[in-house]
Amino acid sequence: MTAAATPAPSPATAGEQSGVRLARSRRNAELYLLLLAMVLVAAYGATVEANLLDTVTSDFWMPAAALGAVFLGLHLVIRFLAPFADPALLPAVALLNGLGVGFLRRIDLGDAPVAERESLAVFAGQGGRQLAWTLGAVILAAALLAIMRDHRSISRYAYTLGLAGIVLVMLPAVLPSSISEKNGAKLWIDVGLFSIQPGEFAKLALLVFFAYYLVRKREVLSLASRRFLGIDFPRGRDLGPVVGVWLISVLVLVFEKDLGTSLLYFGMFVVTLYIATERVSWLLIGLVLFFGGAYLAYVLGSTVGGPFANFYLRAEIWLDPFADPTDKGYQLVQGLLALGTGGLFGAGPGGGQPDILPEVQNDFIFAGIGEEIGLFGLSALLVVYLLIVERGLRAALAVRDSFGKLLAGGLAFTLGLQVFVIVGGISKLIPLTGQTTPFLSAGGSSLMANWLLIAVLLRVSDGARRPVTGGSGGKAARPSGGPPEQLHGAPTEVIKP
């Protein structure tokens, strides 16, 4: 351990003396894992060049180095601003982000004529753009860590954020199609110079609102309920605002023709409600509503059509993509063929033909990567995602305040659900809905929103793993140490055994 890398605060000594478990910041582990991730990204870049150019240029390491510098900056910010944050989160996300940049550069190389490939600038094209977006997203995440020194502080802006979330979701719906519609989905604000997908950010804002509101109301929600059909329903006036916000956002999304995001919001809502109330009935109601609604939409789509026709079409494609393999089912069929061609080991980075896939840089990036890294590579990618989600949930488990639990738990689950929706969609497990693959897909909005999400998880995990200064004599410093700190405006939480 070098002197320079030693983290600044060392409250561990005190803890050790008082018999409390050693609380370690693990920042060096984060650094080493980060370096390992960048080595993997550089190796990926070298393999791509070897396959596509028949030679490895002397510049192959540059994207990995640039990314490494960006992530190292964030690592330093974490060292000073969130020294006890979970050390696995940053390296895991950095690996995904780096592979995303590497794959997008691979697409650029594949699209270029053979003669021009070798001279293709390292920071040009989609890969270069994604690299720039990564820089922006990481700066945003660092800024959030700097501003939000304690995750509970954002609960102060819960209503503002809730309102902002609704506005962000609605904005593309009310804007003219010319600046809001891309590929049939009205999700964008595109003003030429830049285009953003406000819904990506709305996800975060709405979750803060859900978490705050549900924590405040969780007692009434779980106690003052009415029994109906053997299920305890909360009173309408308690649940009203949450349901209202959720309903608006889902309705708007339905009219924006983005089923994936509405499904994501629905899952987010049901899960935060379940975590807050601890009632399994909410999960069941949610699932029944979801599957019932999906079936109803399918039936309506086949008979009435209209707004449901799109859903019906997607369901039909999902049921049998090979029924119309060259037109309607084309994208899904090509995705499946890409994955199947990849097989167990894949064609090797740069060795496949992902350019055949429509939207390979976006919705179908997982299939495009899968053709080249195979089942084993994709399994590893899934494990990295799972690691991030479970680390987020672990932060939620360990953090001492309910708001933090709900916030981190909701965010972690939403991230996992998004991965499930898009990867399940392209692999014909569930009907395909357009979604970005977190940290891999091209696009700044998704990257920034997801990095902000990671910043929040880092902040919560820092709070969860920070040794409790006032704790004494307990079995462990976490998670039961100390009295729960007062959440802004919230009643005292009743700790259940």
Partner 1 sequence: MNAPLRRVGVVVMVLFGLLFANLNWIQAYKADEYRTSDYNGRVQVADYKRKRGNIEAGGTALATSKETTGKLKFQRSYPGGPKYAHVLGYKPVNLADQGIEQVENDFLAGTSDQLIGDRLKDMFTGDDTGGGNVLLTLSKRAQDVAYDQLRNNEVGAKRGAAIAIDPRTGAIQALVSMPSFDPNPLASHDTNEATAAYNKLEKDPAEPLKNRALAETLPPGSTFKIVVAAAALENGVTKNTQIPAGSSWTPPTSGTPIRNAAASICPEPKVTLLEAVTESCNTGFAQLGVRLGAEAVKEKARQFGFEQEDLTVGHLGEGGLPTAASRTGTIQNPDGSTDPAALAQSSIGQNNVRMTPLEGAMIAGSIANNGSQMRPYLVRQLLAPDRTTSYYTASARELRQPVEPQVAADLREMMVSVVRNGTGEKAAISGYTVGGKTGTAQSAPDRPDHGWFIGFALDKNGNPVSAVCVMLEQAGPGGSSEAARIAGQIMKAAIADPGGR
Q: Cβ distance 383 to 403 under 8 Å? A: no
Of the candidates 414, 402, 393, 457, the residue with the CA atom closest to the CA atom of residue 85 = 457
Place of tokens 């983290």: 7
User: Which one of 14, 386, 485, 491 is in contact with partner 1 (CB under 8 A)?
Assistant: 386
Of 83 and 416, the one with the shorter C-beta distance to partner 1 is 416
User: Which one of 15, 87, 342, 463 is in contact with partner 1 (CB under 8 A)?
Assistant: 342
Q: Cβ distance 197 to 188 under 8 Å? A: yes
User: The dihedral of CA 119, 123, 124, 125: what is its sign?
Assistant: positive
- The encoded tokens of residue 487 equal 């959440």
319 binds partner 1 (CB under 8 A): no
User: Which one of 31, 245, 253, 389 is in contact with partner 1 (CB under 8 A)?
Assistant: 389
89 binds partner 1 (CB under 8 A): no
User: Which one of 8, 113, 228, 494 is in contact with partner 1 (CB under 8 A)?
Assistant: 113
Segment interacting with partner 1, rule: CB under 8 A, options 193-201, 248-256, 305-313, 352-360 = 352-360
Per DSSP, the chain holds a count of helices (H) and strands (E) of 17, 6
Binding mask 419-438 for partner 1 (x = CB under 8 A): xx--xx--xxx---------
Q: Cβ distance 369 to 341 under 8 Å? A: no
162 binds partner 1 (CB under 8 A): no
Cis omega before residue 479 (within 30°)?
yes
Of 16 and 324, the one with the shorter C-beta distance to partner 1 is 324
Binding mask 441-480 for partner 1 (x = CB under 8 A): --------------------------------------x-
343 binds partner 1 (CB under 8 A): yes
> How many other CB atoms are found less than 10 A from the CB of residue 210?
27
310 binds partner 1 (CB under 8 A): no
Of 170 and 276, the one with the shorter C-beta distance to partner 1 is 276
User: Which one of 370, 431, 444, 463 is in contact with partner 1 (CB under 8 A)?
Assistant: 370
Give least dist CB 443 to partner 1, A.
22
Give least dist CB 371 to partner 1, A.
8
Of 183 and 480, the one with the shorter C-beta distance to partner 1 is 480
Return d(Cα 103, Cα 156) in angstroms, integer.
40
- The encoded tokens of residue 379 equal 């399994």
Segment interacting with partner 1, rule: CB under 8 A, options 95-103, 172-180, 239-247, 370-378 = 370-378
353 binds partner 1 (CB under 8 A): yes
Of the candidates 201, 124, 90, 211, the residue with the CA atom closest to the CA atom of residue 159 = 211
56 binds partner 1 (CB under 8 A): no
417 binds partner 1 (CB under 8 A): yes
User: Which one of 175, 189, 337, 474 is in contact with partner 1 (CB under 8 A)?
Assistant: 337
User: Which one of 109, 339, 442, 487 is in contact with partner 1 (CB under 8 A)?
Assistant: 339
Of 303 and 326, the one with the shorter C-beta distance to partner 1 is 326
Q: Where are the alpha helices (DSSP H) in 2-118?
A: 12-17, 27-53, 62-81, 89-111, 114-117
User: Which one of 334, 361, 437, 461 is in contact with partner 1 (CB under 8 A)?
Assistant: 334
- The encoded tokens of residue 4 equal 């320079």
Segment interacting with partner 1, rule: CB under 8 A, options 28-36, 178-186, 237-245, 379-387 = 379-387
User: Which one of 2, 58, 326, 473 is in contact with partner 1 (CB under 8 A)?
Assistant: 326
Return d(Cα 133, Cα 109) in angstroms, integer.
19
Q: Cβ distance 407 to 456 under 8 Å? A: yes
* Total site size for partner 1, rule CB under 8 A: 55
- The encoded tokens of residue 9 equal 């605060």
User: Which one of 57, 182, 382, 474 is in contact with partner 1 (CB under 8 A)?
Assistant: 382
Return d(Cα 311, Cα 300) in angstroms, integer.
9
115 binds partner 1 (CB under 8 A): yes
Segment interacting with partner 1, rule: CB under 8 A, options 63-71, 197-205, 249-257, 274-282 = 274-282
DSSP structure string for 190-248: E-SS-EE-HHHHHHHHHHHHHHHHHHHHHHHHHHSEEEETTEEEEPHHHHHHHHHHHHH
Q: Cβ distance 70 to 428 under 8 Å? A: no
φ, ψ (nearest 5 deg) of residue 382? -60, -40
User: The dihedral of CA 213, 141, 189, 329: what is its sign?
Assistant: negative
Q: Identify the DSSP state of 87.
A: T
Residues in the chain: 497
Of 91 and 409, the one with the shorter C-beta distance to partner 1 is 409
341 binds partner 1 (CB under 8 A): yes
Backbone torsion region of residue 359, taken as left when φ is above 0, otherwise alpha when ψ lies between -120 and 50, otherwise beta: left
Angle (CA) 46-51-55 rounded to 5° is 65
Segment interacting with partner 1, rule: CB under 8 A, options 26-34, 72-80, 224-232, 381-389 = 381-389
152 binds partner 1 (CB under 8 A): no
Q: Cβ distance 102 to 45 under 8 Å? A: yes
340 binds partner 1 (CB under 8 A): yes
Q: Which residues contribute to the site for partner 1 (CB under 8 A)?
A: 113-115, 271, 274-276, 278, 322, 325-326, 333-334, 336-344, 352-353, 355-356, 370, 374-375, 378-379, 382, 385-386, 389-390, 393, 396-397, 402, 405-406, 409, 412-413, 416-417, 419-420, 423-424, 427-429, 479
